[in-house]
Amino acid sequence: MARGKRKTEAEDNDSKQQPAKQAKNSKESDAEGEEQNGFVASGELVKPATRVRQLKGGDAGKGPVIYWMSRDQRVHDNWALLHACEVAQTTGAPVLIAFNLVEKFLVAGARQFGFMLRGLKELVPQMDKLNITFFLLRGDPIQTIPKLVKDTDAGLLVTDFAAMRIGREWRDGVAEKLDIPFHEVDAHNVVPVWVASDKRETGARTIRSKINKKLPEYLVDIPPVPQSAKYEGKVKPDKVDWDKIIKGAVEAGKEVPEIDWCKPGVDAALEALKAFLTKERLGHFTADRNDPNKPGALSGLSPYLHYGQLGAQRMALDAVKLRSKFREGVDGFLEESIVRRELSDNYVFYEKNYDKFEAAAEWAKKSLDLHRKDKREYLYSREQFEKAETHDELWNAGQMEMVVLGKMHGFMRMYWAKKIVEWTESPEQAIEFSIYLNDKYEIDGRDSNGYVGCMWSCVGIHDQGWAERAVFGKIRYMNYAGCKRKFNIKTYVERIDKLARKHGKSVKGA
C-alpha cells in the first residue's frame, strides 16, 4: 500500500535471519569468501555475486540448469535467469524455465490469475528465440519442482527471491527434496534484501543510507540474456493450451473480475513506464502524488512490478536518465520505488509475523492494548466493508475504487485502512479485514507493500508514536477533515460513484 511522506520511527526488532556478508576486495579472496558465506563466486554476467545465495550448496552438475520462475515473470532484465545462463555456459548445458501454477493463491481471483497468465503467455516466444525450453507445471511446487529436477537430470536449480511466508515455505520444502545445488537470486530488488540489511529495520530513516551507499555498486546496466544450448533431453514439456488455462482460471475466480485499464505483459509494462517518464507525469510526481483527483501523477506500474513483468532495476535506470530534467520528481520516485519498496521486503523477510498484531513495536502494542475497550462510534462487519456500506461516502468511494478498478489511490489507501481500525472491534480484526480486502481486490495485493501498508495503518509499523487518542492510542490518526484540506472530496467521490454505477455499484453508504 502506498504511503505519503512521513517520519518513520518505531521500535527495532531483532531478526532471525542469517546476516548478509560483504565481499572481500581482491578477486581471489572474493570467490573464496563468497562461497564460504553462502554466496556464489562472481561471474561476468551477474555482479556483484551477492545477488545470489545458496539455499543448498554443492557443485553444479553437467545436466540442465533449471530456473524456477516465480516472483519475477520476465525474460529480460532478470538477474535470476542471467545467473542460470551463466552457470549453464560453464558446462555447455541447456537452460530450462519452469513455472508452477497453483490452483489457489491466498484470495487471488480472476483479476490476479488472468493478469499473471496473460503475461506468462507472452514470454514463451521470447524463450523460444533464446533456445530456452519452458515447462508449465501444475500442483504443489514442493512436489512438482523436485520431480522435474530428477526427470531432467538437472545439475542446478535456480529461483528468484521470495519474501513472503508461502514462498519461503515452498523454497524450503523444495530444498529438502533436492540432491543438487539450489540458488536463490534477488531479481526483485535493486540492492538484494540480505545485502541491504541483516535485520528488520525500524523504518525508512534507518535503511535509506544503507541502500543509497550500495546503489553505485548495484544500480548498474543489466546484460542481455545469452542464447542457451539446445535442450535434447527425453523429458519434454506438455503442450500448453493457454486459452483453456486462462479461461478456466477466470471462470474459477469470477467473483473478482479482470480489469481493463491495465494491459498485462512485459511489452505493456515497458510502454507504461515510457508513458510515465514524461514532464506531464514524472515532472509532477512529487507535487501531485497525494491528490486522489490527479491519478496521472502516479506511475501505475505496481501491477507490473508485483508480477515481475517489469524489473525495479529497469524502472530505476530509465528514471535516473531524466534526473537533470526532473530532479525533484526523479528523487521522489526513487525514494518510493527503491527505498520504500525494499523496506517492505525487509520487513516481510525478517519478520515472521508480518501480518499479525505480534509484529507491532512494543510502544504500539502497549498503547493499543490500553484502548481495547474504548467505545467505537461505528462497528461494521467484513461484509459491510466489502460492499462499501458504511456511513462515510469518502471511505465507500475508496473501497469502490479498489473493487472496480483493482487499484485504490495511495493516499486513499491510508485513510481507508485507518478507518477500518476505527470501525472494528480490535486491532487484530482491523488487520484481518484490511489485509483480506486488499489481497482480494487489489491487482497488486498479496505483496510486501500491501502488508506494510496495512500494518503501518493498523499498528504503526515503520512509524512513530503520535498524540494519544481513543481507539488508536498513539497510532497515527487520519480523518475526513484532514482529507478535505488535502483534496476536493466531492470531485473524488462523484468520479468514483460514476465509475461504480457502470458496474452496478454505488458509494451512497449505509
pLDDT in tens, 226-245: 999 999 999 999 999 999 99
DSSP string, 240-291: P-HHHHHHHHHHHTTTS---SSS--SHHHHHHHHHHHSSTTTGGGHHHHTT-
Mean pLDDT on 199-225 = 97
Residue at 120 is within a domain: yes
Instruction: Locate 222 and state its grid cell.
Output: 543489466
Listed in sequence order, the residues at least 6 apart from 242 whose beta carbon sits closer than 8 Å to its beta carbon are 117, 121
Report CA torsion sign: 394, 502, 280, 332: positive
- Judgement on whether residues 384 and 327 belong to the same structural domain of the protein: no
- Judgement on whether residues 261 and 322 belong to the same structural domain of the protein: yes
* Phi, psi dihedrals of residue 400, rounded to the nearest 5°: -70, -35
* Phi, psi dihedrals of residue 6, rounded to the nearest 5°: -170, 165
Residue at 12 is within a domain: no
pLDDT above 90 (res 508): no
* Phi, psi dihedrals of residue 221, rounded to the nearest 5°: -60, 150
Burial zone of 467 (CB within 10 Å; 0-12 exposed, 13-18 middle, 19+ buried):
exposed
Residue 43 pLDDT: 77
- Judgement on whether residues 67 and 84 belong to the same structural domain of the protein: yes
- H or E, element range at 144: helix 141-152
**pLDDT tens per residue across span 17-37:** 333 333 333 334 444 445 545
∠ Cα 37 42 47 (to 5°)? 105
pLDDT above 50 (res 5): no
Total of domains in the chain = 3
Residue 106 pLDDT: 81
Residue 506 pLDDT: 86
Residue 32 pLDDT: 45
Mean pLDDT on 301-314 = 97
Residue 312: CATH number of its domain: 1.25.40.80
Report CA torsion sign: 160, 162, 168, 170: negative
Domain boundary among 350, 366, 382: 350
Residue 29 pLDDT: 40
Residue at 216 is within a domain: no
DSSP string, 70-119: SS---SSS-HHHHHHHHHHHHHT--EEEEEEEPS--TT--HHHHHHHHHH
Helix (H, G, I), strand (E, B) or coil at 122: helix
Contact 256, 440 (CB under 8 A): yes
- Judgement on whether residues 317 and 365 belong to the same structural domain of the protein: no
Binning pLDDT at 50, 70 and 90, where does residue 103 land? Answer: confident
- Judgement on whether residues 344 and 368 belong to the same structural domain of the protein: no
Domain boundary among 199, 215, 230: 199
Residue 254 pLDDT: 94
Buried b / exposed e across 216-239, counting CB within 10 Å, b at 16+? Answer: eebbeebbebeebbebeeeeeeee
Higher pLDDT, 28 or 397: 397
- Judgement on whether residues 74 and 194 belong to the same structural domain of the protein: yes
Residue 41 pLDDT: 65
- Judgement on whether residues 345 and 367 belong to the same structural domain of the protein: no
**pLDDT tens per residue across span 136-186:** 999 999 999 999 999 999 999 999 999 999 999 999 999 999 999 999 999
Residue 20 pLDDT: 34
Going by C-alpha positions, the residue among 10, 8, 3, 4 that lies closest to residue 360 is 10
**pLDDT tens per residue across span 83-95:** 999 999 999 999 9
Residue 406: CATH number of its domain: 1.10.579.10
Residue 39 pLDDT: 73
Instruction: Locate 286 and state its grid cell.
Output: 512529487
Beta strands across the sheet bearing 52-56: 52-56, 182-185, 156-160, 65-69, 95-101, 133-138
**pLDDT tens per residue across span 248-264:** 999 999 999 999 999 99
Residue 25 pLDDT: 38
Please give the mean pLDDT across all residues of the chain: 92
Q: How many CB atoms lie within 10 A of CB 82?
A: 26
Residue at 302 is within a domain: yes
Residue 28 pLDDT: 41
Going by C-alpha positions, the residue among 269, 383, 293, 287 that lies closest to residue 327 is 287
- Judgement on whether residues 343 and 363 belong to the same structural domain of the protein: no
**pLDDT tens per residue across span 53-88:** 999 999 999 999 999 999 999 999 999 999 999 999
**pLDDT tens per residue across span 329-361:** 999 999 999 999 999 999 999 999 999 999 999
- Judgement on whether residues 418 and 467 belong to the same structural domain of the protein: yes
Residue at 141 is within a domain: yes
DSSP string, 18-29: PPP----SSHHH
Q: What single-letter amino acid sits at 28?
A: E
Mean pLDDT on 206-220 = 97
Domain boundary among 138, 170, 199: 199
**pLDDT tens per residue across span 415-451:** 999 999 999 999 999 999 999 999 999 999 999 999 9
- Judgement on whether residues 185 and 252 belong to the same structural domain of the protein: no
Residue 101: CATH number of its domain: 3.40.50.620
Residue 507 pLDDT: 87
- Judgement on whether residues 175 and 65 belong to the same structural domain of the protein: yes
Residue at 394 is within a domain: yes
Residue 42 pLDDT: 59
Question: Percent of the chain scored above 90 by pLDDT?
Answer: 88
> What share of residues in the chain are helix, strand, coil (percent, to 5)?
50, 5, 45
Residue at 407 is within a domain: yes
Mean pLDDT on 98-107 = 89
- Judgement on whether residues 155 and 99 belong to the same structural domain of the protein: yes
Residue 11 pLDDT: 35
Residue 37 pLDDT: 54
Residue 44 pLDDT: 85
Residue 509 pLDDT: 61
Residue at 16 is within a domain: no
How far is the C-alpha of 368 from the C-alpha of 370, rounded, in Å? 5
Domain interval for residue 340? 245-350
Residue 251 pLDDT: 95
For residues 478, 481, 484, 486, the Cα torsion angle rounded to the nearest 10 degrees is -40
